[in-house]
Structure 1
Amino acid sequence: MNIEQFYPLFLQAEKVTIDSRKINLNDIFFAFSGANFNAATLAEKAISDGALAVIVEDDTFENKDQNVFYVPSTLEFLQNLAIHHRNQLKLPIIGLTGSNGKTTTKELIHAVLSQKYNVQYTYGNLNNHIGVPLTILSIKPEHEMAVIEMGANHQREIELLCTLAKPNLGYITNFGKAHLEGFGGFEGVIKGKSELYNYLKNNRQTILINENDQIQVEKTTDYNSKITFGKRTSDYFFEIFSDEHFVGLDYKNMKALSQLTGDYNFTNLCAAASLGLHFDVDFNQIKEAIQNYTPTNMRSQIVKKEGRTLVLDTYNANPSSMTASLYNFITFEGTKTIVIGDMLELGDDSVAEHQNILKTAHDLGFNEIITVGKHFKTVNDSSKSFENTAELIQYLSSNKIQSENVLLKASRGISLEKAIDFI
């Protein structure tokens, strides 16, 4: 089975899935196998559940009469099918990466552009070598553009994702201290994320630049096909304003207030608004999109609970985002407790970075500091330092937090959101 032969069948499908539990009528199921499980054993059931076709990498399960096809690698076939589909598409694709704020920015861009266009975009956090092909393959004839998030934790990963998505326009949110272990330090982060710039330059595509970010400016100085924001001399200029905990932007005396907290989200709003203006979305529609976007994914999410204000930011954490969250949270009125969990994938920098965050927290003068995770445990000898979230929950069950404001911030692996019901 080759891509050209299979493509007409793909065009008849409703969607492509790698999850056997989510197969619906006329879906295509890619049977990804793990070290201890052969997903090809699910092929017959997938067909009986209504799958249009199944791709397996175990030839003993091939049954062409039932559209069960063998390929040497389900991953390579998925990626090559995505490339072939991308080559047929005539719509613009916006590629997005960065150390912090990728998902929020992606969702804001989608919200803004959807005011005028039918936009497909990365669902959830499907931003890797499997998620990006799945997003590409979800693009239908009715879509007019797409926004594809690209995640990476090592060199050449963004390069690969660019060969799949072939973005016409790209944006790097920022360069921060994330995945230092895999990238080999901060300079490695810059090099790895800049693979998006390399692709766009080599293919004469457009780059969106925040001119307040010196690294972005330096990396694109020699390139002319770009859209800029951030300064009064940029293509688009916005001023920041806030109302209570929420951040907004002011464009030519027209204000749009978001439901996001933190000045760090101002840049995310600017990027979305800039792309909206670039693609001729009226600012009143941009304003509507920004005001109606509600974070529900544990990213900069504010929740009122029993008279307290909770800031939930438990989906990701690294030294850059953690520092920004602490400086934002200290501006809240009233007493403040922070519950901060380990920042993962920092490698040799882990001890120093956790020490720095703990020092920053003490210097800012929060009323109560609670840490969770083995990395924080090594640098915090306080009685309010817990090895995991289960220990934290046990403590909270008999020691209720008294502060009016509570911040929860940690890497996803800490599962800090499980403690919300006990606050």
Structure 2
Amino acid sequence: MITYTELDIAQILSIKPDRAFRFTGVEHDSRANLVGKLFVAIKGERADGHDFCQAAKDQGAAALLVAHAVNVDLPQIIVSDVIKALGKLAQAWLAHCGVKVCAITGSAGKTSVKNMTASILSAAFGAECVFATPGNFNSDIGLPLALCQLSPSQEYAVLEMGMNRFGEIDYLSRLAKPSVACINNVLPVHTAGVGGIEGVLKAKSEIFNGLRKDGIVIINHENRYASDIKQRTAAFGQTVFGLSPDLDVYAKALHIGPRGTQFELCIQSEECVSVNLPFPGEHYVLNALASASCARALGASLSSIKAGLEGAVLEKHRMMFLTGPNGATIIDDCYNANFEAVLKSAEVLLSQAGEPVLVLGDMGEIGDDEQAVHAELGKRLKAMGLKTLLCCGRLTQFTAQAFGEGAQHFDSKAGLLETLPAYCHNNAVLLFKASRSQRFEELVDPLSS
């Protein structure tokens, strides 16, 4: 357990706290168990943490990190910028633990790569030695909060880094100082804040800004920007993965089944190993190769890589197979969506035995071309052979129009939910896909409960 006092905080933040205190954890949710913890009062778009400091005290908080004094009888650490102060505290916490950091970003699949990497490292070194960012704690607020959960007994930290604008990953990378850094892929996702896919590449490449001098870069050969990333990171060690046998880490003999994928995972100058990946689709094979490359760079053996991949578990709402009404198969893949991810998920859907139905919501953060991109998606889905498409959202009306016969558009999730049972029979397979903002779990949960 790590304990910080007012003397430690004075040194970390270069300030003088108003009185003595000690805390053993950091939290920003006033509803959580805050006994012995520092409550961080963050002002967001919808709520201001300063308004919940009394509630934090009632939950047992030991001290407050605030931007101004509040009328609450607790020690208060008053700073000009709470988020920056949280980052400094997280960096000190990370340094105290002395873990080796693997940083992962990408336009799609980064959470899956994070989970699989952590699973491999757990198989190699023991689960008690491995930390991974929980959920989607991958922002300038979420990642520092996650780092303050680290324990001195842990030796490896697998950190997911997300972005919506330039500078965000730069900040996170310099804070975490990774030994291994991976861009899983670069796709036209989150383009609204960076001006297009070239901006996505630039923003994602910020992950190398904090990479240690002896660090290793993990590169996806199958992504169109692999050569660019190689050039940007020529000063570091590099591991390149993909589907070609001349790469450092590669897969061969792929057999993609309806609920899993078998393949041979190979590392240059070593024997190959057969892997039974519990997730279907070639895109999950590439995620597995990225994870294997990250873990290998940190010393994991080939046998540990096999064990970790075969035992990996994905986050909720990611390619989960459930049973719906009348024995219908529900594929819950609704955590998030982008153009390429929808097509990959549609491939999985069409590989299933039964009558496929894609239930689609809007894709977010595309930028000025959002209507055209949604329309193009409808054309692509039609060309793939999909027969039934159910859409909900402001933008998927353009998807439905482009898809044509076989598509229906609903103005609300309530209207769609009323219609869905008619599509649920024992030979039906319904896949749900949408951006996080669409909250499609509100459709999945009633059907699969």
Q: Could you state the TM-score of these two structures normalised by the residue count of structure 2? A: 0.85
| 1:1-400 correspondence to structure 2 within 5 Å | 4-5=9-10, 13-34=23-44, 37-61=47-71, 63=73, 66-115=74-123, 116-117=125-126, 118-200=129-211, 203-221=213-231, 222-230=234-242, 231-239=244-252, 240-251=254-265, 252-305=271-324, 306-381=326-401, 384-396=408-420, 399-400=422-423
Q: Is the 8 A contact 1:104 1:268 kept in 2?
A: yes
Q: Deviation per CA, 1:272-329, whole angstroms, max 9, x where unpaired? A: 2223333333333332322222334111222243433322211111112112222332
Change in 2 beyond 3 A, CA 1:7/1:196 = closer
Whole-angstrom distance in 2 between the partners of 1:208 and 1:155: 21
Give 1:335 deviation, angstroms: 1.7
Q: Is the 8 A contact 1:262 1:300 kept in 2?
A: no
RMSD over aligned Cα atoms: 2.7
Change in 2 beyond 3 A, CA 1:78/1:255 = same
Q: SS state of the match for residue 90, structure 2?
A: helix
Whole-angstrom distance in 2 between the partners of 1:50 and 1:243: 51
Q: SS state of the match for residue 31, structure 2?
A: helix
Change in 2 beyond 3 A, CA 1:173/1:35 = closer
Whole-angstrom distance in 1 between the partners of 2:214 and 2:260: 38
Whole-angstrom distance in 1 between the partners of 2:314 and 2:236: 35
Q: SS state of the match for residue 366, structure 1?
A: coil
Whole-angstrom distance in 2 between the partners of 1:45 and 1:206: 45
Whole-angstrom distance in 1 between the partners of 2:39 and 2:344: 42
Q: SS state of the match for residue 423, structure 2?
A: coil
Give 1:142 deviation, angstroms: 0.6
Give 1:37 deviation, angstroms: 4.8
Count of matched residue positions in the alignment of Structure 1 and Structure 2: 419
Change in 2 beyond 3 A, CA 1:197/1:315 = same
Question: Which residue identity is paired with 1:233?
Answer: D
Q: Is the 8 A contact 2:338 2:363 kept in 1?
A: yes
Question: Which residue identity is paired with 2:32?
Answer: K
Q: SS state of the match for residue 255, structure 1?
A: strand
Give 1:248 deviation, angstroms: 3.5
Give 1:204 deviation, angstroms: 4.8
Q: Is the 8 A contact 2:394 2:411 kept in 1?
A: yes
Question: Which residue identity is paired with 1:135?
Answer: A
Question: Which residue identity is paired with 1:311?
Answer: I
Whole-angstrom distance in 2 between the partners of 1:322 and 1:409: 7
Q: Is the 8 A contact 1:342 1:372 kept in 2?
A: yes
Give 1:11 deviation, angstroms: 11
Give 1:375 deviation, angstroms: 0.5
Q: Deviation per CA, 1:139-180, whole angstroms, max 9, x where unpaired? A: 221110101100001222111111221212100110011112
Q: SS state of the match for residue 102, structure 2?
A: strand
Q: Is the 8 A contact 2:328 2:424 kept in 1?
A: no
Whole-angstrom distance in 1 between the partners of 2:350 and 2:447: 22
Whole-angstrom distance in 2 between the partners of 1:77 and 1:5: 12
Give 1:386 deviation, angstroms: 1.0
The equivalent of 2:441 in structure 1 is 417
Whole-angstrom distance in 1 between the partners of 2:276 and 2:176: 32
Whole-angstrom distance in 1 between the partners of 2:178 and 2:299: 19
Question: Which residue identity is paired with 2:260?
Answer: F
Q: Is the 8 A contact 1:3 1:80 kept in 2?
A: no
Q: Could you state the TM-score of these two structures normalised by the residue count of structure 1? A: 0.90
Q: Is the 8 A contact 2:87 2:144 kept in 1?
A: yes
Whole-angstrom distance in 2 between the partners of 1:327 and 1:71: 51
Whole-angstrom distance in 1 between the partners of 2:224 and 2:315: 31
**Which is further off, 406-415 or 93-102?**
406-415
Whole-angstrom distance in 1 between the partners of 2:348 and 2:106: 20
Change in 2 beyond 3 A, CA 1:198/1:40 = closer
Question: Which residue identity is paired with 2:245?
Answer: R
Question: Which residue identity is paired with 1:329?
Answer: L
Give 1:238 deviation, angstroms: 2.5
Q: Is the 8 A contact 1:209 1:217 kept in 2?
A: no
Give 1:241 deviation, angstroms: 3.0
Whole-angstrom distance in 1 between the partners of 2:49 and 2:393: 34
Q: Deviation per CA, 1:367-420, whole angstroms, max 9, x where unpaired? A: 3111111101245346720123222112235x3344522111111111222222
Change in 2 beyond 3 A, CA 1:264/1:161 = same
